[in-house]
Structure 1
Amino acid sequence: MTNLQEVETIIERAILVGVNLQNDRNFAYSMEELESLAEALEVEVIGNVIQNLERVNPSHYVGTGKIIEIKNFVDESEANLVIFNDELSPSQIRNLERDLECKVIDRTMLILDIFDRRANTREAQMQVELAQLQYMLPRLVGLHASLSRQGGGTGGGFRNRGAGETKLELDRRKIEDQIAKLRKDLEVVKNIRETQRKQRRKNEVPVVSLVGYTNAGKSTIMNRLLKKIGQEDNKQVFEKDMLFATLDTSVRNIELPDKKTFLLTDTVGFVSKLPHHLVKAFRSTLEEARDADLLLHVVDVSNEQHPFMMDVTNKTLSEVDVEGVPTIYVYNKSDLANVKYPLVSGDNIWISAQEDEGLDELIELIRQHVFSDYVECEMLIPFDRGDVVSYLNSNAQVKDTEYEELGTKLLVELKDVDLKKYEQYVIK
């Protein structure tokens, strides 16, 4: 008879801890967001502990009195995890775990874990692993605190060191080697991306990049635009009402009925207190936005914190040198915000992607920005230059065609660059 070994699944029950520094007006929302991040990892949130401070306690992050309060809460609620709303130093984690007798993680670990689960492409997986290892490296001492250290480190040689210290050295070296390898591999990917970007510039295809806070509806907008132009088959990107549904950059070619085309890219969403290592690791992905001709900054207007979310997005973009790119602000989820939509005001547009409302107006706004170099003219093309007529039929909007004695007369709207190429045939 086969013995079936029962595997017990540990349900993580967490207490959230936050310090409101100098009456931060976005503090309450950042705690709500921390709860959403925890729930994204199927952690059961039991409650939270909050402290108002002018500055954090360097040894424990919170004050000594709060440690006792948290410890009592952990014991009473049978919690097995405490999550802090900021990045903790290695010594803070060590001190907290010792005094609370419980696993302690910070907001950075939580976000890294979500990214780890959501990464699908090899590039995203490498970017997340790099950020995780860079976060882990200075915290190795804490991870090995329980290891014994027999003998001193006086002689400086391996054999004089304690087992724990030797293990620590080996682990540190392994991590440093892996970081170096990942950086090298990501550099290769970065060069491939750069080559692709150069090719796009050479082909003069405008690039429009979707940017914004996580769960603002960027992927929904991309999918609805693809559907509107009849290109949804096999090209839909993953969309779901959850944090960080999209980590992998998607690029789609959008061809409008009048033959004008642009590339639409969907990038990773942002969140407040996004770990610095993660921003650096995803830099090459976010650079898609830096080289764009136009940004669509997607905002969840139904969330009362949307001004704060816009601010976080703008700050994160400027961290990766995405500055000075023309931007349309797309206020999405207007149907849930009780505001008038579709509505256009300058470079601001209120839409509901879910309801397919405002997409025509959005396409028109994109058109005004990225196709401003198009001109209309009449051309008379000799019959022996059928290749030119064929090119214009494929790459421009031919509004009228007449066959005359000396050739084919076209009324055409085309790119300025194509006009220069075929200006010898222009008659007016």
Structure 2
Amino acid sequence: MEFGFDAADEDFRSAARHWLAGHLRGPYAEAAGLGGPGSEHEGVAARREWERELGRGGWIGLGWEAPPGAYGQRAATLTQQVVWAEEYARARAPGRVGHIGENLLAPTLLAYGTREQRDRFLPAIARGEELWCQGYSEPGAGSDLAAVRTTAVRDRDRDGGRGGDRYRYRVTGQKIWTSLAREADWCFVLARTEPGSRRHHGLSFLLVRMDQPGLIDVRPIRQMSGTSEFNEVFFDGAVAEEVVGGEGNGWTVAMGLLALERGVSTLVQQIGFAAELERVVGAYLASSETADEVLRNRLVRQWAELRTMRWNALRTLGSAQDPGAPDPGAPSVAKLLWGGWHRRLGELAVAVRGAAGSAGVRDWAPGLPYEDGLAEAQRLFLFTRADTIYGGSDEIQRNIIAERVLGLPKESR
């Protein structure tokens, strides 16, 4: 696909840039740059209000496959979605607290949900009023998602207000590595609704309100980087009154949702990567390591790989719009590329600082500046160790490519 921006796209860019410049003020400007990977717990109050500001401007849901304005969102072509993503990242606008609802749950409801579910949940997401988290991973069921053990028992709730009998579920189990669980209003949960079922069978995709005192317990997980943006979530009979895609079809819905994790958002991520690389190069030029040719070559290679990732992402976006040329391995290739790239950047961040980079991680607290950027570099190093694991480990991505693209035999169990 020949990917470029035409005059209409540039007009859209001008409008996006003007809107961001006019609204990134006061507490929103103070929250600039907060809330990225590894710091999703920072500046939540300002970022939550910023989400509502985006909703009032119609900037949430640009990529939804729904009639423009159906849920309050602006109309935007694929290239204009890219434009908005680029301008948002370049403006260093606050990290989104609503991205899970906008980019994962909403497209899933458009593909698998009922009209009533779409009408109930999408307008609130588009207004920035309801936040979501994802209840997938469990202890012992991370990359191997089919091993989930959280259960949901169906009971009958007689409620004539909704047209007679309806089913609800009582959810019991534990989820882990749940981003934004402390801030979220809702969680979509993959749970086992068929007793005795195994692997991909008997799973359902449930929507659970997080405000259930005594039935849901959220516990932050403190990591070696000193941050705690991830959480454990314990469900003890929590009520779920909505199932998406029908009972027992949870695996299909869950896999459909995971395919949405790559896309325009990848380009936003890469702009953030470029800013990080620029800071690492700056630290290198200011250090005593400039005579190290190996280090210099690694930095040049890092720059070249980032450019390659951008063009691959644009190519993938183009092919995604062509139903005659699907690329089932594209999401896995993208994950392998950026996961390894970002991990290597973390290694470079401390390497360019010489012996000081290998010292113990310095104390740092949100709102305080990094001392000479060293603490930032060290935290980048520590956080990026997880890049090749979360969101589907490298091993899982290679298996997907081997089986679904190359047609190799499935791994024996």
Aligning the two structures, in what range does the TM-score lie when normalised by the shorter sequence? under 0.3
RCO comparison, higher one (Cα < 8 Å, 6+): 2
Compare the two structures and name the one with the higher strand fraction: 1
- Normalising by structure 2, we get a TM-score of 0.23
What is the TM-score when the length of structure 1 is the normalising length? 0.22
Q: Which has the larger radius of gyration?
A: 1
